[in-house]
Amino acid sequence: MKHIPRKRFGQHFLSDGGIIEAIVGAIAPQPGQPMVEIGPGLAALTQPLVERLGRLTVIELDRDLALRLRLHGQLDVIESDVLKVDFTQLAHTLQAPKIRVVGNLPYNISTPILFHLLEHVSVIEDQHFMLQKEVIDRMVASPATSDYGRLSVMLQWRYAMENVLFVPPESFDPPPRVDSAVVRMVPHDAPAAVRPALLSELVQVAFSQRRKLLRHTLGRWLEGRGFAGHFDTQRRAEEVPVHEYVALALTLDQKA
């Protein structure tokens, strides 16, 4: 029976064979690698992946799709909201020090998924995701550009990222109203040991009024914390590179 895409799950199923082949080529799965796919849907990407891997773990929220996927002998199906999945525990279950994560992420919750995975980055070898192109533009943005913001800083602190493939709307059924792209995310080997919650709060304050100079936002926040060091607040948030935000968070941590 044909599956009708569910709007509440943000379902847009990949159907372009050429694009599927290009994505699999970018992922480059090797036999036996522990890999987890988020939102396999109708298995357009799942099938070519599992053919190369031998076995694949998939996370699917839609009950009907999960039922179909369980009929596939090479898939281990986790029927769950991905935001409730403990990827650190999952890596332990798969008896793997590191896992590879892939998926066509639902546009309506793509950012929460990225931040959820950030909590488990220590067990992740790499991530390849299809997302709204606009989101990927923000993820990989450079300072002093309109796309550069909190998402850029938080992810670039922890990952090297690359926009590897453009995916037009007609590659999906039903076609979304936006362009898509595929991003490669590889965790840095030795990131600065900053507390994620502190960096997140700092960056959120900085970008809360991005048109204003930082002295109106981050400057006052730093004063409230008794910060006596030097940080140039005569700039706008988008002018500050990632490493400066990270260094500031490290300084605040040492002071605490």
Residue 2 in any domain: the answer is no
Count of other CB atoms within 10 angstroms of residue 44? 20
Report whether 39 belongs to an annotated binding site: yes
Report whether 125 belongs to an annotated binding site: no
Would you mind telling me the total number of residues written for the chain in this entry? 256
Residues 109 and 157 in one domain: yes
* Residue 10: per-residue pLDDT: 45
Predicted model pTM: 0.91
* Spatial distance between the Cα atoms of 176 and 181, rounded to a whole number of angstroms: 12
Residues 142 and 240 in one domain: no
Q: Are strands 99-104 and 35-38 parallel, antiparallel or unpaired?
A: parallel
Summarize the confidence of residues 81-108 as an average pLDDT.
95
Report whether 120 belongs to an annotated binding site: no
* Number of domains into which the chain is organized: 2
* Residue 5: per-residue pLDDT: 42
Amino acid at 206: A
Summarize the confidence of residues 170-188 as an average pLDDT.
93
Summarize the confidence of residues 162-168 as an average pLDDT.
96
pLDDT class of 87 with cuts at 50, 70, 90: very high
* Residue 11: per-residue pLDDT: 57
Residue 1 in any domain: the answer is no
Residue 139 in any domain: the answer is yes
Residues 150 and 217 in one domain: no
Report whether 14 belongs to an annotated binding site: yes
- Counting residues of the chain whose pLDDT is more than 70, the rounded percentage is 95
Report whether 72 belongs to an annotated binding site: no
- Last residue of some domain: 157, 187, 217? 187
Q: Residue 216 sits in a domain of what CATH number? A: 1.10.8.100
* Residue 173: per-residue pLDDT: 83
Residues 23 and 56 in one domain: yes
Domain range for 235 = 196-255
pLDDT greater than 60 at residue 155: yes
- Last residue of some domain: 187, 216, 231? 187
* Residue 113: per-residue pLDDT: 97
Report whether 108 belongs to an annotated binding site: no
* Residue 7: per-residue pLDDT: 44
Q: Which two tokens stand for residue 67?
A: 């039922």
pLDDT class of 107 with cuts at 50, 70, 90: confident
pLDDT class of 6 with cuts at 50, 70, 90: very low
Q: Residue 103 sits in a domain of what CATH number? A: 3.40.50.150
Are the beta carbons of 175 and 16 closer than 8 angstroms?
no
